[in-house]
Amino acid sequence: MLHNPVQEKLDVLLKKIRSIRLEKQISQNEISKRLNISQNAYCKMEQGKTKLDLYRFVQINNILEFDFYKFFKEN
């Protein structure tokens, strides 16, 4: 399998999103309602099965109230 640094960084980001969501005890159902998407659609996005676009990322960032910009600088 070819080394894909972009996919690796995306995987780290998605794991961090899931980790923060769990730390804050926010269910996938709750976050999906706030995004106006189905729970299944959110689950697929969090698992990397569907692409996370910038618009959704900013929405998730606002819901989780986490400084992902600082996270990117550190990683």
pLDDT in tens, 35-71: 999 999 999 999 999 999 999 999 999 999 988 777 7
pLDDT in tens, 4-24: 888 888 899 999 999 999 999
Does 2 have pLDDT greater than 80?
Answer: no
Residues 21, 64 contacting (CB under 8 angstroms): yes
User: How confident is residue 73, by pLDDT bands cut at 50, 70 and 90?
Assistant: confident
Please give the Cα distance from 22 to 16 (Å, whole number): 10
